[in-house]
């Protein structure tokens, strides 16, 4: 076994041990803990970047290291690092729990890293549960009013039911193919995927990831958890966790690539319902995080458009969009976290006059929101363009049409945010002070959103290379 292949996971495992040690101390040292966490996760990004082009198998072929998995590991490491950069004021998490907050963020990242590399059903299940359980604990960690435990309990129960569904589906797949290795399942499932047991097994299996991505029948948790969890935890759930879910959906839907009509038809319906429902309900939201939750449900539908093409083009687009979604969603959460410094839930009217209170933040906000809405020349536009063209090339005309209509509907509530920030007078709300690192972060986010939107070639080529390994 080559230890270097397992490098990023080992690094994050050691990091979790460090945080575990920190959480055992009797006297907490918030500032020092934060600096340690920031330095370690920053180094983690470098570690995953260095292992980007590694290839190989581990653990009796149950664990595959390829470009696809390494790209997503890098994205996860980046997501964790970004979330920690906005964790400098964990106002809603008690001081004595800070070390545990870092610990559970790290363990959920390890779980997701294992998840994107695993190519065996039992490994996938255990890795998924590792990443979910840590998040179940993080959500009710918020102090204050009672909404945190309520959000926590909803997240836990919907998550547990969906993982039960997934396990039941896995048992059927195991039953008809007699194996748990994805590489062996694909040829055997080919003839069986259009039989009732095959399609039910595959759809039930996918439901575990539909939950993570908040696709339609498993979306109920999203608004409550987004609002009820601390802002930083929500930022992690909305960025890194989604990227991992997209990765696994890509790996698992590749199982159904031999199927004809019925499998894609089912995904088609889910995509349309998710998009439409998310966008329509988002219109009436007043709470900014709740609005983003419904926007994430809508985005789950867009991801499914790329996934259900079951072709290299669509998968490439989905990978690109997953990375873009991480960046643009994080930019918006960066703004939320800085405007709501005391960790409260931000209502839309509280954004009033942001362009005067903090021009830099309002620029990041408008770029992030326009990217989410898909306005050129942001990464969001490029991603949507790739997704829609890939679906169009496969002849999904109605799907693309409904997707485009949805994109227009979503503009309404995205522009409502921009309106609140730019065209409403501040009415005495105080200016927002930014520290120097946060200023740099703002500029970096803006540069990435525009830069990779105008010049997406490098990322797209990388994604195209990665897709070759899974289809």
Partner 1 sequence: MLIFNQLSTYLYLALALFAIGLYGVLARRNLIAMLISIELILNAAMINFMAFNRFLAPHPAVGQVITLFIMAVAAAEAAIALSIIVAVYRKLKTINVEQATELRG
Chain residues binding partner 1 by CB under 8 A are 121-122, 125-126, 129, 133, 136-137, 140, 145-147, 149-154, 156-157, 160-161, 164-165, 167-168, 170-172, 174-175, 178-180, 223-224, 227-228, 284-287, 290
DSSP structure class, residue 181: B
CB of 294 to partner 1, least distance (A): 10
CB of 418 to partner 1, least distance (A): 22
Instruction: Report whether 466 contacts 319 (CB < 8 A).
Output: yes
Place of tokens 């803990």: 33
Nearer to partner 1, 52 or 145 (CB): 145
The C-alpha atoms of residue 274 and residue 295 are separated, in whole angstroms, by: 10
Instruction: Report whether 346 contacts 354 (CB < 8 A).
Output: no
CB of 178 to partner 1, least distance (A): 5
Nearer to partner 1, 159 or 383 (CB): 159
Nearer to partner 1, 286 or 458 (CB): 286
CB of 96 to partner 1, least distance (A): 16
Nearer to partner 1, 222 or 445 (CB): 222
Q: Give the chain's end-to-end CA distance (angstroms, integer).
A: 26
* Environment class of 26 (CB within 10 Å of its CB; exposed 0-12, middle 13-18, buried 19+): exposed
CB of 153 to partner 1, least distance (A): 6
Residue 165's nearest CA partner among 205, 211, 222 is 205
Q: Which residues contact 149 (CB under 8 A, 6 or more apart)?
A: 140
CB of 281 to partner 1, least distance (A): 9
Measure CA 336 to chain center: 17
Nearer to partner 1, 136 or 321 (CB): 136
Nearer to partner 1, 347 or 356 (CB): 347
Which residues share a beta bridge with 347?
287
CB of 115 to partner 1, least distance (A): 14
Nearer to partner 1, 225 or 334 (CB): 225
CB of 238 to partner 1, least distance (A): 17
Helical (H) or strand (E) element with 271: helix 261-282
CB of 377 to partner 1, least distance (A): 34
Q: Is the torsion defined by CA of 298, 300, 302, 308 positive or negative?
A: negative
Nearer to partner 1, 52 or 161 (CB): 161
Which residues share a beta bridge with 57?
64
CA dihedral 241, 414, 309, 242 (to 10 degrees): 0
* CA-atom Rg of the chain in angstroms: 21
The C-alpha atoms of residue 109 and residue 130 are separated, in whole angstroms, by: 9
Q: Which residues contact 419 (CB under 8 A, 6 or more apart)?
A: none
Rounded (10°) angle between helices 147-177 and 182-192: 70
CB of 148 to partner 1, least distance (A): 9
Other C-beta atoms within 10 Å of 296: how many? 25
Instruction: Report whether 288 contacts 308 (CB < 8 A).
Output: no
Nearer to partner 1, 44 or 111 (CB): 111
The C-alpha atoms of residue 56 and residue 5 are separated, in whole angstroms, by: 7
Nearer to partner 1, 287 or 350 (CB): 287
φ/ψ of 345, rounded to 5, equals -75, 130
What 145-153 contacts at long range (C-beta under 8 Å, 24+ apart), as own/partner pairs, is: 147/224, 147/227, 147/228, 148/228, 148/229, 148/230, 150/224, 150/228, 151/221, 151/224, 151/225, 151/227, 151/228, 151/229, 152/228, 152/229
């Amino acid at each position: 076994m080559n230890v270097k292949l397992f490098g990023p996971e080992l690094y994050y495992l050691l990091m979790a041990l460090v945080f575990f040690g920190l959480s055992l101390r009797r006297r907490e040292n918030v500032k020092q803990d934060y600096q340690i966490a920031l330095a370690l996760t920053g180094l983690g990004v470098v570690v995953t970047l260095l292992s980007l082009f590694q290839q190989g198998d581990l653990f009796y072929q149950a664990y595959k290291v390829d470009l696809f998995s390494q790209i997503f590991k890098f994205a996860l490491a980046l997501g964790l690092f970004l979330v920690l950069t906005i964790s400098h004021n964990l106002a809603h998490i008690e001081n004595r729990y800070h070390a545990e907050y870092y610990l559970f963020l790290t363990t959920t990242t390890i779980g997701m890293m294992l998840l994107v590399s695993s190519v065996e059903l039992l490994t996938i299940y255990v890795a998924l549960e590792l990443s979910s359980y840590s998040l179940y604990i993080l959500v009710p960690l918020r102090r204050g009013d009672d909404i945190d435990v309520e959000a926590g309990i909803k997240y836990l129960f919907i998550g547990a039911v969906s993982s039960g569904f997934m396990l039941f589906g896995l048992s059927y797949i195991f039953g008809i193919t007699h194996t748990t290795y994805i590489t062996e399942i694909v040829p055997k499932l080919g003839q069986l995927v259009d039989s009732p047991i095959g399609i039910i097994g595959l759809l039930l299996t996918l439901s575990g990831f539909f939950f993570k991505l908040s696709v339609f029948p498993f979306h109920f948790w999203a608004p409550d958890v987004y609002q009820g969890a601390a802002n930083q935890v929500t930022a992690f759930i909305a960025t890194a966790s989604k990227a991992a879910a997209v990765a696994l959906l890509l790996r698992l839907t590749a199982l159904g690539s031999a199927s004809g009509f019925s499998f894609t038809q089912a995904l088609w319906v889910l995509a349309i319902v998710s998009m439409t429902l998310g966008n329509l309900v988002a219109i009436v939201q007043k709470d900014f995080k709740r609005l983003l939750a419904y926007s994430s449900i809508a985005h789950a539908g867009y991801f499914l458009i790329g996934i259900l093409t079951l072709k290299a083009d669509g998968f490439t687009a989905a990978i690109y969009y997953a990375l873009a979604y991480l960046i643009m969603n994080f930019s918006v959460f960066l703004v939320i976290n800085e405007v709501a410094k005391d960790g409260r839930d931000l209502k839309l009217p509280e954004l009033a006059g942001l362009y005067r209170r903090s021009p830099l933040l309002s620029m990041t906000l408008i770029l992030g929101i326009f990217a989410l809405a898909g306005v050129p020349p942001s990464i969001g536009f490029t991603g949507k363009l790739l997704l829609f063209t890939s679906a169009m090339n496969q002849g999904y005309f109605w799907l693309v049409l409904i997707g485009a209509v949805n994109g227009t509907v979503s503009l309404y509530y995205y522009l409502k945010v921009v309106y609140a920030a730019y065209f409403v007078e501040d009415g005495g709300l105080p200016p927002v002070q930014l520290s120097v690192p946060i200023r740099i972060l703002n500029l970096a986010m803006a540069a990435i959103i525009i830069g990779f939107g105008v010049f997406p070639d490098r990322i797209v080529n990388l994604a195209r290379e990665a897709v070759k390994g899974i289809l």
